[in-house]
Amino acid sequence: MKGKLYLIPSPLGDYDPEVVIPAPTLELLQRIGCYVVEEVRTARRYLSRAGLKGHIQELEFHELNEHTSAAEVERLVALFEDGRDVGLISEAGLPAVADPGSALVALCHRHGIEVVPQVGPSSLMMALMASGLNGQSFTFCGYLPAKTEERRSAIKSIEKTSQSKRQTQIFIETPYRNDAMFSDLLQSCRPSTRICIAADITMPDEFIRTKTVAEWKKENPIIGKRPCVFLMLA
């Protein structure tokens, strides 16, 4: 008999988990003794604040991040032997969404292991909800290229796709490149294209605004080094 994989959501910022994590999920954490996580230190802090303070040393942790090889992921199947349940936790939000944990989920499907998603915050969906852009048709583009010219070329390409399909384009950036990304959006996109900036979602200083490129050029805010989701509709 094999155990189950529980996909455990985590807060989008540094605050008490009970603010955004449902009580049944917090109760589930009390009985899972093995976790696959993106970063052990972050996971320990989260679980401690989620009610496991004083019991962290009793838990078993395995890291799965961008440096984990396919062979190392394959070996994780042994964790589910003898009916043991395993929890998957990403750095923030929903595991396996813009997250390397999807490799573990795929492994479980290949080996017939039940996957059980839990309810929690998704920065991508919350940004789309609050943007006022097209929620009927949208694409998540992940990270755009880091180099300036390549990034501007990618922006122009997804703007064309957005216009032709009337489709919202969603993408993210490493926090220290937020302002460079925003600058490139204003330089590369047409004045009528709508851009939403959704930063620090669920946090006290949450900032979610949608304006046309022409309107943003009059304001040109500084986003800074904080988690941010960008949305575009041409």
**Domain assignments of the chain as residue spans, ordered by start:** 5-117, 123-233
Q: In what order do the strands lie in the sheet with 194-199?
A: 138-143, 168-172, 228-233, 194-199, 207-212
pLDDT of 13 reads 86
Mean pLDDT (the chain) is 95
* pTM beyond cutoff 0.95: no
pLDDT of 1 reads 82
- The 10s digit of each residue's pLDDT in 102-156 is 999 999 999 999 999 999 999 999 999 999 999 999 999 999 999 999 999 999 9
Superfamily assignment of 5-117 in CATH?
Answer: Tetrapyrrole methylase, N-terminal domain (3.40.1010.10)
The domain 123-233 is classified under which CATH number: 1.10.357.10, 3.40.30.10, 1.20.58.220, 3.30.950.10? 3.30.950.10
Cα–Cα nearest to 29, from 123, 118, 121 = 118
pLDDT of 92 reads 81
pLDDT of 220 reads 79
DSSP string computed for 108-167:
HHHTT--EEE-----HHHHHHHHH-S-SSSEEEEEEPPSSHHHHHHHHHHHHHHHHHHT-
- The 10s digit of each residue's pLDDT in 154-209 is 999 999 999 999 999 999 999 999 999 999 999 999 999 999 999 999 999 999 99
